[in-house]
Amino acid sequence: MAPNLKAVILDRDGTLIVEKNYLRRVGDVNLIPGAARALASLRRAGYTLIIATNQSGVARGYLKEKKLRAINRKLSRELAARGATISAVYYCPHPVDGKCGCRKPATGMIEAARKRFGFDPKRSFCVGDKITDVEFGHNAGMKSALVLSGYGAEELADIRRDAARATRKSRPDFAARDIGEAVEWILSQKK
């Protein structure tokens, strides 16, 4: 592993694109305002950008993996056209109770990305709109930001309501209004 490499692992729905509750159509991919600009600034700062997304809609029969890959390609093309090239997209198509090693907060997708890209988790970050995204990053030894877009505001309220049950791994290192503010925080960190 090359210790100088750094990455940002990004959730997809509610973090980069508008949450659609089981997005099924390529035409429904809508970037969150400012997402591409924010990711382009991470690329310029030397971060490898990787999307890691739970997609149980495949197991539920809402869409086929072929359609999921087409959705991911469209998102990647839209971001690349704006200077925010995504190096890889990983997804877990398994059911919520599937007990697989790739469904967040398990670290299978991060481990696959580390094997391929060789980034240092201590210099890397995870960003998403759910507590499972926060735990995903923490489980891999990364700092995690929770964006309040998508399900993030509701998830943060749940943590605050039940603080006694929240573990260190479920508490975000930073809560951001959106991906733009999360990226500002990442860029302010001395890594």
User: Residue 50 pairs with which residues in a beta bridge?
Assistant: 9, 88
For residue 103, give both structure tokens: 């469904």
Taking only Cα atoms into account, the Rg of the chain, rounded to an integer number of angstroms, comes to 15
Assigned domain for 1 exists = no
Higher pLDDT, 123 or 160: 123
Q: Residue 71: which domain range? A: 6-188
Residue 151 near residue 19 (C-beta atoms within 8 A): yes
pLDDT tens figures, 110-149: 999 999 999 999 999 999 999 999 999 999 999 999 999 9
Q: How many domains does the chain have?
A: 1
Place 190 in a pLDDT band, splitting at 50, 70 and 90: confident
The mean-pLDDT minimum among 11-25, 33-47, 51-65, 163-177 falls in 163-177
Q: In degrees rounded to 5, what are phi and psi of residue 8? A: -125, 120
Residue 173 near residue 141 (C-beta atoms within 8 A): no
Q: Name the residue with tokens 């890959």.
A: 69
* Number of CB atoms found within 10 A of residue 154's CB: 11
Please give the positions annotated as active site: 11, 13
> Which pLDDT score is estimated for 158?
85
Angle at 187 between CA 148 and CA 3, to 5 degrees: 115
Higher pLDDT, 160 or 8: 8
Which helix (H) or strand (E) element contains residue 182? helix 179-188
pLDDT tens figures, 26-61: 999 999 999 999 999 999 999 999 999 999 999 999
Q: Is the pLDDT of residue 95 over 50?
A: yes
Please report, for the domain that includes residue 106, its CATH number.
3.40.50.1000
> Which pLDDT score is estimated for 169?
75
Mean of the pLDDT values across residues 3-21?
93
> Which pLDDT score is estimated for 3?
55
Mean of the pLDDT values across residues 165-172?
78
Assigned domain for 181 exists = yes
Q: pLDDT averaged over the chain? A: 94
Assigned domain for 107 exists = yes
